[in-house]
Amino acid sequence: MLLRDTIDSKALSALQHVVQRNQTHGSLSKKSALENVNIIASDELAPRANDIDEGYYPLNIMSALGGAGAFGAHLGGSSAQFGDAISAMQMISRACGSTGFLTWCHDVCGLYLEQSGNSALLARLPAHVSGETFGGTALSNPMKSFAGIESMLLKAEKTSSGYLINGSLPWVSHIDQGQYCGAIAAVENADGSHSHEIMFLLEANESVVLKPCPVFSGMEGTSTKSIVVKNLEISDDHIIADPAKPFIAKIRAAFVLLQTGFGAGVIEGSIESMLEVEDGLGHVNQFLHNRPDELQVEFEELKQKLQDLAQTPFETDKQYVIDVLDARAHTSELALKASQSALLHQGARGYLMSSAPQRRIREAHFVAIVTPAIKHLRWEINRLMKETVPS
């Protein structure tokens, strides 16, 4: 299922490319990769944050970030640095939550390509990592389906050459014509029952109709569409995992853990907004609860927890998975708390439509409701912590 026994030379060179990139960015020069990401985030991304929030899809900036090494730290097998991938995402999200979220979509798609072990998909990895091509993830529905919350929306039918996919998904981010995303479909038997699920790279071609979603309260530049799939043919070259479940079990913690970089950036930006006004408003802000120093202490503890968990992203031990889910929930809770407090600290200034604190309120709520939402995380932790008993 994972690294297939035979990886052809093309695929091998693709993997080596990523490894090499990480080594170049590794140890001594690693800092400069993150520094470059930080410079792009502050100089190019931050000024466009409100435009992006309102609908500008920043593929040009994503390209620049890819070129700087923002999307590859978590790849490359033994040289992977998940902690750095989270840190890079945090820097981006601190400047613009929408782009922080796009970074997560892009990062997990890279993870699917790499972990598939499929040479055809591995060959696409270098262009993906460097931001020449773009792709995200459509696993919100399947993840909830596997947790017993929803049923699977995409269906696959076995054909002589692969599978035929049909169905629709309500919202997929970081998708556009010519782009792609990781998706999962339930394989239907002739009698309508499901044999198993497959995971594949869904390319937005003529068999896929992208429809605009109703207007969201923010994060409009994430190119979030509903997708309708009609008779999309899938060949072996598209298969990420068949069956999908063992693959998901392996990458689940990494998938959730990476997302914390998005929330962490919102928290960091919020604390900065509070400190920004401290000189002028500190004399009255002292009466607020959730003061920046208080939040910073909690944030430091959370960041340390995330970096510790990032050491073993493919661990499947139940206690580890619970820790990852809990850290993700903590990120949401702290993002909500910090973003609200940032607006209170800035007062009317923070309530201006152009201000970062009001935008971050909406970003933080997205952190808290996007799959896995706080309620999904607690549902799943509850399920994992319950003792199994005979039936």
Residues in contact with another protein by CB under 8 A are 297-298, 301, 319, 322-323, 326, 329-330, 333, 378, 381-382, 385, 387-391
| C-alpha atoms less than 13 angstroms from C-alpha of 214 in its C-beta half-sphere | 2
For another protein, the closer of residues 30 and 376 by Cβ is: 376
For another protein, the closer of residues 266 and 321 by Cβ is: 321
For another protein, the closer of residues 222 and 331 by Cβ is: 331
Distance CA 130, CA 148 (A): 36
- Distance of closest approach, residue 249 Cβ to another protein, in angstroms: 18
- Distance of closest approach, residue 131 Cβ to another protein, in angstroms: 36
Does residue 142 contact residue 184 with C-beta atoms inside 8 Å? Answer: yes
Number of C-beta neighbours around residue 3 at 10 A: 15
Q: Residue 211 is encoded by which pair of tokens?
A: 């429809």
Does residue 21 contact residue 8 with C-beta atoms inside 8 Å? Answer: no
Residue 178 gets which letter from DSSP?
T
Backbone dihedral angles phi then psi of residue 229, each to the nearest 5 degrees: -105, 125
Distance CA 219, CA 367 (A): 11
Q: What's the angle, vertex CA 294, arms to CA 219 and CA 370, rounded to 5?
A: 25
- Distance of closest approach, residue 262 Cβ to another protein, in angstroms: 20
Pairing of strands 194-203, 239-241: antiparallel
- Distance of closest approach, residue 368 Cβ to another protein, in angstroms: 13
Sign of CA dihedral 38, 40, 45, 47: positive
- Distance of closest approach, residue 388 Cβ to another protein, in angstroms: 4
For another protein, the closer of residues 215 and 389 by Cβ is: 389
For another protein, the closer of residues 35 and 308 by Cβ is: 308
For another protein, the closer of residues 330 and 359 by Cβ is: 330
For another protein, the closer of residues 212 and 390 by Cβ is: 390
Which residue has tokens 């850290």?
327
By residue count, the chain amounts to 391
For another protein, the closer of residues 252 and 330 by Cβ is: 330
User: Which pairs from 368-376 meet CB under 8 Å and 24+ separation?
Assistant: 368/332, 368/333, 368/335, 368/336, 370/101, 370/140, 370/259, 371/139, 371/140, 371/143, 371/144, 372/143, 372/256, 372/259, 372/325, 372/328, 373/332, 374/329, 374/332, 374/333, 376/144, 376/147, 376/149
Does residue 181 contact residue 136 with C-beta atoms inside 8 Å? Answer: yes
Backbone dihedral angles phi then psi of residue 134, each to the nearest 5 degrees: -130, 140
For another protein, the closer of residues 185 and 329 by Cβ is: 329
For another protein, the closer of residues 197 and 323 by Cβ is: 323
- Distance of closest approach, residue 148 Cβ to another protein, in angstroms: 15
Cα→Cα distances 80→4, 37, 136, 152, 282, Å: 19, 17, 20, 32, 43
